[in-house]
Amino acid sequence: MELVFKTLLFDQNDRIATVTINRPDKLNALNAQAKSELRELFTQLKTDDAISVVILTGAGEKAFVAGTDIKELTVLNSETGKDFSAKGQEVFDLIENLGKPVIAAVNGYALGGGCELALACHIRIASENAKFGQPEVNLGIIPGYGGTQRLARLIGRGRAMEMILSGNQIDAQEALRIGLVNKVVPQAELLATATSMAQLIASKGQVAIRMALKAVNMTQETTLSDGQKLEASLFGVCCESEDFKEGTSAFLEKRKPAFSQRSLDESSLRPSDKNK
């Protein structure tokens, strides 16, 4: 994919895309242009069959994303503020519902919208110097890009309340302890660790990966019994795939599976499965 953006860097290697938010002099704060470019790029990544996994990181060694751009907040009123929040939520929803795994490689400050951006990703790997926080109350606002919802679902209501009400930052080890991140590594190893996780996932059958993402994402908004109905239905979708035939045959023939690496074509989903 030939892509040139003002606030993002894009790199593709094998089936793995790396997206870097690139405003290091502003600690990669998300201005309107960055959000619009994220929307454009992730919209393209969603349907790009050559990409299986995306890594999202920030430029430089200091920040993943230090929040939304505070300069752009000052003009907001109740109506434009609501719209500002809803539009940001849409971009982060796009990432969460990409249909391919997105790994956040958190290389420093992940504050406000930066913490929320990491939360919208499926797996979070942090460098030792990473710091997480929802400092919006210091500005007289609340998290507006899904943070009040995703943080509480990920780490529990009590811990999310503490982070959101205090505005305090936590370090990478504390983030690991409370389940906010999956892994902490030295900064020099961050991208290599994220890449090897991405390669591992890209080596699996991509139909199963896509169905697993849908099923686990759904835990955010469904009951156990509805979630299990969805799981059974998606399990059935997997059973129709070439990957399923290949994976089970390879096991029985004592060889490594050679998956097609293609995700399931949306058109081949049964109508009843399409919106799952």
Q: Cβ atoms within 10 A of the Cβ of 175, count? A: 25
- Nearest approach, Cβ of residue 20 and ligand COA (Å): 17
Contact, 104 vs 172, CB < 8 A?
no
- Nearest approach, Cβ of residue 90 and ligand COA (Å): 17
Kindly tell me which of 67 and 101 has the beta carbon lying closer to ligand COA.
67
Closest CA to 276 of 208, 213, 198, 224: 213
- Nearest approach, Cβ of residue 76 and ligand COA (Å): 11
- Cβ neighbours of residue 30 under 8 Å, at least 6 residues apart? 21, 38, 65, 67, 68, 69, 88, 113, 114, 117
- Structure-token pair, residue 111: 């504050």
- Nearest approach, Cβ of residue 74 and ligand COA (Å): 11
Kindly tell me which of 46 and 62 has the beta carbon lying closer to ligand COA.
62
Q: Which of 2, 79, 90, 116 is catalytic?
A: 116
Kindly tell me which of 71 and 270 has the beta carbon lying closer to ligand COA.
71
Contact, 115 vs 109, CB < 8 A?
no
- Structure-token pair, residue 128: 């030792």
Rounded to whole angstroms, how far apart are CA atoms 196 and 164?
33
Instruction: Name the residue with tokens 């990473």.
Output: 130
Does 221 qualify as catalytic in the annotation? no
- Nearest approach, Cβ of residue 135 and ligand COA (Å): 4
Kindly tell me which of 113 and 205 has the beta carbon lying closer to ligand COA.
113
Does 253 qualify as catalytic in the annotation? no
Residues of the shown chain interacting with ligand COA in the complex, contacts defined by CB under 6 A: 26-27, 29, 66-71, 109, 111-113, 135-136, 139
Phi and psi at residue 60, to the nearest 5°: 85, 180
Rounded to whole angstroms, how far apart are CA atoms 123 and 96?
11
Q: Which of 40, 61, 72, 136 is catalytic?
A: 136
Kindly tell me which of 56 and 202 has the beta carbon lying closer to ligand COA.
56
Question: What does DSSP say about strands 123-127 and 102-106: parallel, antiparallel, or unpaired?
Answer: parallel
Q: How distant, in Å, are the alpha carbons of 42, 217, 245 from that of 96?
A: 10, 8, 29
Q: Known catalytic residues? A: 116, 136
